[in-house]
Amino acid sequence: MLKAIQSRLHQGYRTNAFPERDPALPARYRGLPVLDGARCDACGDCVERCPTDAIAVRGPGMLDGAFTQNAASSEVRAHIATELSLDLGRCLFCGECETACPSGAIHFSGSFRMGARAKEGLRLRTELAQTTSALSNARTAADSVRDETAGARAALPESRVEGQLIEALDARMRAVFGRAMKIRQVSAGGCNACEADINVLETIGFDLSRFGIAITASPRHADALLVTGPVSKNMELALKKTYDAMPEPKIVIAVGACAISGGIFAGSPDVCGGADTVIPVDLYLPGCPPHPMTILNGMLALLGRVSGYKKNLT
């Protein structure tokens, strides 16, 4: 007993200060990606490397997601391409695109604030610079930034980096859930990484219950359903039944690339390809898996407890 008390004193207070202060995340953490149309020369390397076809370079007459099949030379492509886009709902945050990009047009910021109420909100877009001179200027600028920081993360001008907006529930729903929300979690074909990083919210590091949010065993007691995984065909019925067993009003949160779009398993005949193929979803939280802070911030933003939006992030 005395040893336990002694340990308690030694182990100390470990709960992070969020939402007053953001916890320090690892320097190599890949958060919200930032696209820079001024630097993109539409070479398509990122499109080719992306494992989940999350990235597209589009222009008039160019097929969606079929960029690499376009026979046009890189110069022609650079002139007809007008938009670079990245779908956070498919993104694994593997960083392959950032590595592949020769001109630094894609950069993963350190922001964990990500999520959207509708899938369209997960699609990041930027217009491309149209002229060759603009491209070469941007290239030079990009190179100089990279030289200065030599190996460290290039600091981008703040104006180009934005957090994502998660719109809070309406006043009626906030009155019901705002101060106490019970969560039922269903793992439906996931790899157990999303589940692990939801579980971690219950540890003393995050202490979910201080926000009035708790995980409950029964769907009958649940206000919110957290879905992880691409929804395997074998879990389709169980997910639907769990949803149906929850009392109204209820909300559904899709956690992770699999639950949003099927993720790396999208297209497999053994999965449905995301939670919203089976039940309506109110909030999408991207990541593979999402950082626990992304999940916590997303839930609190939905409840109107923190601003879902933050500018000036790097």
From 114, 213, 259, 288, residue interacting with other proteins (rule: CB under 8 A) = 288
Beta bridge partners of 225: 184, 252
Cβ of residue 146: shortest distance to other proteins, in angstroms? 9
Q: Which of residues 37-76 bind other proteins (CB under 8 A)?
A: 45, 48-52
Residue 238 in contact with other proteins, rule: CB under 8 A: yes
Cβ of residue 74: shortest distance to other proteins, in angstroms? 15
Q: Which of residues 144-203 bind other proteins (CB under 8 A)?
A: 185-200, 202-203
Q: Which one-letter amino acid corresponds to residue 118? A: A
From 14, 125, 179, 221, residue interacting with other proteins (rule: CB under 8 A) = 14
Residue nearer to other proteins on the CB measure, 198 or 252: 198
Residue 8 in contact with other proteins, rule: CB under 8 A: yes
Residue 102 in contact with other proteins, rule: CB under 8 A: yes
Cβ of residue 170: shortest distance to other proteins, in angstroms? 28
Residue 215 in contact with other proteins, rule: CB under 8 A: yes
Residue 229 in contact with other proteins, rule: CB under 8 A: yes
Residue keyed to tokens 């995980």: 215
Residue 204 in contact with other proteins, rule: CB under 8 A: yes
Burial label for 137, CB within 10 Å (0-12, 13-18, 19+), is middle
Residue 4 in contact with other proteins, rule: CB under 8 A: yes
Instruction: Give the range of 9-17, 113-121, 166-174, 304-312 binding other proteins by CB under 8 A.
Output: 9-17
Sign of the C-alpha dihedral computed for residues 55, 61, 63 and 64 taken in this order? positive
Instruction: Give the range of 2-10, 127-135, 157-165, 301-309 binding other proteins by CB under 8 A.
Output: 2-10
Residue nearer to other proteins on the CB measure, 179 or 221: 221
Helix (H) or strand (E) holding 126, with range, is strand 123-127
Helices marked H in the chain: 2-11, 45-49, 74-80, 96-100, 132-149, 171-177, 193-199, 236-245, 257-261, 292-302
Is the bond leading into 292 cis (omega within 30 degrees of zero)?
no
DSSP letters of 27-66? TT---SEEE-TTT-----HHHHH-TT--EEEE-TTPPTT-
